[in-house]
């Protein structure tokens, strides 16, 4: 299974693609950050991020998209931008009938470090170890996106944070069509 992890943010949106391997192992496919210019109007910033997310989905053909669940913070404008970018990622996946899952930050931290209160450095270190990387993924947004993808790979079916779409919600024809689209994107 290939998972695109999205750590939503209006200035920096972490993106990480990970393949699940036998034996609860994972392999890095790609990691990066979608960026938008702070001086632009919000609609143009969202458009810039949306285009980059679309490119990543087209290029990497994920089987699932894991997005960080937005939680309330003190800074309302930060929460709004984060939520808007999370929505863009979900719509881009839904447009292609790719299942979307939302994972909380503490759930992701617990999955990759064993501690739901782990700090950014611990998450980066464990992501590097789990994916056999020579150096820590940077910036933290990129590491968080990889952690989201790994967390999703390791979630059992039906567990908290499992895909939001019911397994039988697609017809057999829709599943076949989606599989053919994903195979074509990978060959493409």
Is 37 annotated as ligand-binding? no
Which of 9-18, 71-80, 96-105 is predicted with the least confidence, judged by mean pLDDT?
71-80
pLDDT-derived band at 155 (thresholds 50, 70, 90) equals confident
Residues annotated as catalytic (active site), given as ranges: 7, 68, 141
79, exposed or middle or buried, with CB in 10 Å at 0-12, 13-18, 19+? middle
Report the range of poorest mean pLDDT among 8-12, 78-82, 107-111: 78-82
In order of their start, the domains of the chain are 2-187 (3.30.420.10)
> Which tokens in the block code for residue 165?
């779409």
The reply, when asked if residue 63 is annotated as ligand binding, is: no
What percentage of the chain reaches a pLDDT higher than 70?
A: 81
Residue 79 token pair? 């929460």
What pLDDT sits at residue 14? 98
- The pLDDT value recorded for residue 159 is 45
Query: Residue 17's closest CA among 58, 69, 70, 71?
Result: 58
Residue 157's pLDDT is 54
Residue 164 clears pLDDT 80, i.e. is over it: no
User: What is residue 117's predicted lDDT score, i.e. its pLDDT?
Assistant: 93
- Higher-confidence residue of 90 and 79: namely 90
Predicted local confidence at residue 162, as pLDDT: 41
pLDDT at 169 over 60: no
Quick one: pLDDT at residue 161? 40
**pLDDT at position 179, please?**
65
Report whether 68 belongs to an annotated binding site: yes
Quote the pLDDT of residue 163: 43
């Amino acid at each position: 299974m290939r998972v695109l992890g999205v750590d939503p943010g209006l200035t920096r949106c972490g993106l990480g693609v990970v393949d699940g391997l036998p034996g609860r192992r994972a392999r890095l496919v790609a990691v990066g950050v979608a960026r938008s210019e702070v001086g632009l109007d919000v609609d143009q910033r969202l458009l810039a991020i949306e285009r980059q997310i679309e490119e990543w989905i087209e290029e990497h053909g994920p089987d699932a998209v894991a997005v960080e669940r937005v939680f309330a913070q003190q800074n309302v404008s930060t929460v709004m931008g984060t939520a808007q970018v999370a929505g863009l990622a979900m719509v881009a996946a839904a447009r292609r009938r790719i299942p979307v899952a939302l994972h909380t930050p503490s759930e992701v931290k617990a999955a990759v470090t064993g501690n739901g209160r782990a700090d950014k450095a611990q998450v980066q270190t464990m992501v590097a170890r789990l994916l056999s990387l020579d150096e820590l993924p940077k910036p933290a947004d990129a590491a968080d996106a990889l952690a989201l993808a790994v967390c999703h790979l390791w979630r059992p079916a039906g567990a908290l944070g499992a895909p939001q779409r019911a397994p039988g919600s697609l017809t057999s024809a829709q599943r076949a069509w989606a599989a053919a689209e994903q195979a074509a994107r990978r060959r493409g």
